[in-house]
Amino acid sequence: MSKGTVVLAYSGGLDTSCILVWLKEEGYDVITYLANIGQVEDFDAAKKKAESLGAKKVFIEDLRAEFVEEFIWPSVQASAIYEDRYLLGTSVARPCIARRQIQIARQEGAQYVSHGATGKGNDQIRFELTCYALYPEVQIIAPWRIPEFYNRFVGRKDLMEYAEKHGIPVPVTPKAPWSMDANLMHISYESGILENPKSHAPADLYLMTKNPEDAPNSPDVLEIEFKKGVPIKVTHVKEGKSKDTPLDIFSYLNEMGGRHGVGRIDIVENRFIGMKSRGIYETPGGTILYHAHLDIETFTMDREVRRIKQGLGVKFAEMLYNGFWYSPECEFVRHCIDKSQESVEGKVQLSVFKGQVYILGRESPKSLYNEELVSMDVQGDYDPCDASGFIKINAVRPIGGRRISGSACVLCSVHPNCI
């Protein structure tokens, strides 16, 4: 008798193919679910493989458009960046994938969901927090945390032997000696030979971006138009080519950034589970948008509002990294960030060249920049003595290691201790 139905987040690779057969061996009916979020994948072959291994049903879902609009765009609005460098490409994909997995589980009356995430990583937390938030009654089977499983499959050799025994097709060519995760937002590389943080990344590791040294010797100039903090159009200035749907915009920025080697980082980060890990990431389109959005936001947003929003962006990035997308606190922070973006509107021109993004100019109907007021050549209606009050208020702060009384207007009678 079946123990029940389980929806397995399935990739078609060695691990999840073995997990599919192992779950059947344990007495479960298995439904496989594969999300298309922009990775290079032979989806037809993955489906046939799952069916041949005994999957009761196979779901392959194209989530690319909703991934961009509902997950990447809020991250762009937030300027979400973890520990000052990581643009969260894996983190932002997990709630998108797991949401659809839960929808399928409910639709099919499945009591269980399963995944192939390691017991040492962040993804197990991201998947499971999403599942519990959206389907509290669901039971999760995490094989890499079950002693009977991880003691049986100590290494890849054990998985290969199990695959051979059960007729599971395995790649003819050896797998790259590192772990890789790809989606529209980025590709990440970790584990294997990368676990020594001193080792340099092999030259053939990067798949999404060209080596900046080999990139074109002339830049591509792009204009990105924003409304409410999200891009609504990208135009190649010289070629006149434009994209205006979210998926097309992001895909085109990936193409342009990849062509010029934009968005490569090599970092050691703090996993939520409590260990440091080395990760190499390439995020071409996301890096371009990070710089462009930062520029138009500063141009159009009130200074004090932006100061608060910056803090919220840091908090949002931490919650996203740690898997709390569907928590009440993250929903609240996203709402506040979305509110802050109401006036973030306009166009930014930039160039991408040899691994870098260079801001060239910007314009906006919501600009808070006053050219006449700030001009060094035009007085306008500004009275320089208006600054005296500001200076007095701030004069109690240390200057050169000393304190001044603030009783004098430094524009009219310079205090000797200030010199």
And the tokens for 214? Answer: 């080999």
Please tell me the distance from the alpha carbon of residue 179 to that of residue 198, in angstroms, as a whole number. 17
3-class secondary structure, 356 = strand
Please tell me the distance from the alpha carbon of residue 414 to that of residue 409, in angstroms, as a whole number. 7
Are the C-beta atoms of 150 and 18 separated by less than 8 Å?
Answer: no
Are the C-beta atoms of 411 and 387 separated by less than 8 Å?
Answer: yes
Angle at 67 between CA 44 and CA 278, to 5 degrees: 90
The backbone torsions φ and ψ at residue 298, rounded to the nearest 5 degrees and listed phi first, read -65, -35
Please tell me the distance from the alpha carbon of residue 59 to that of residue 97, in angstroms, as a whole number. 12
Neighbours of 148 (CB within 10 A): 10
Please tell me the distance from the alpha carbon of residue 137 to that of residue 153, in angstroms, as a whole number. 29
- DSSP track, 260-297: TT--EEEEEEE-TTS-EEEEEEE-HHHHHHHHHHHHHH
Active site annotation includes 179: yes
Are the C-beta atoms of 129 and 324 separated by less than 8 Å?
Answer: yes
> Choosing from 17, 99, 123, 343, which is the catalytic residue?
123
3-class secondary structure, 346 = strand
Number of separate helices (H) and strands (E) present in the chain = 14, 14
Active site annotation includes 94: yes
> Choosing from 11, 15, 99, 362, which is the catalytic residue?
15
What does R_g of the chain's alpha carbons equal in angstroms?
26
Please tell me the distance from the alpha carbon of residue 126 to that of residue 105, in angstroms, as a whole number. 17
Contacts of 294 (CB under 8 A, 6+ apart): 79
Please tell me the distance from the alpha carbon of residue 204 to that of residue 211, in angstroms, as a whole number. 10
> Choosing from 94, 126, 278, 362, which is the catalytic residue?
94
**Which residues are part of the catalytic machinery?**
15, 94, 123, 179
